[in-house]
Amino acid sequence: KNNKKLEFVLLSKQIRSIGKNAFAGCSQLKAVVMKTSRLNTVGRNAFRETGKDVTVKTPKEKWNAYAKLCMNQGGMSSAVVFIIDPVKLKYKGKSY
């Protein structure tokens, strides 16, 4: 929360939930890669005030559910771009 230097988040395959206010106020956040297919809870305002130019990569079969969780419960901006596997997300020279 409120980490002004955090730009990138990689959520492993084991993640099942994101806590309340987890990334709130991380205004420099640019990319979130969700490798998990088990995410079922996003805490209230988990992505509040993270900016509008965030790109979120999700598993193909989960993008719609994850988009709803992140925006409705997590407070993520509706201007965020969601991409799905197999599309590659490039960040600082690496592909995810």
Q: Give me the tens of pLDDT residue by residue for the chain, a chain 96 residues long.
A: 999 999 999 999 999 999 999 999 999 999 999 999 999 999 999 999 998 899 999 999 999 999 999 999 999 998 999 999 889 999 999 999
Report the predicted TM-score, pTM, of the whole model to 2 decimal places.
0.91
Share of the chain above pLDDT 70, in %: 100
CA gap 60, 88 in Å, rounded = 12
Q: Confirm if 25 and 2 have CB atoms less than 8 A apart.
A: yes
Q: What is the pLDDT of residue 51?
A: 80
Report the amino acid identity of residue 68: K
CA gap 55, 30 in Å, rounded = 6
Q: What is the pLDDT of residue 88?
A: 92
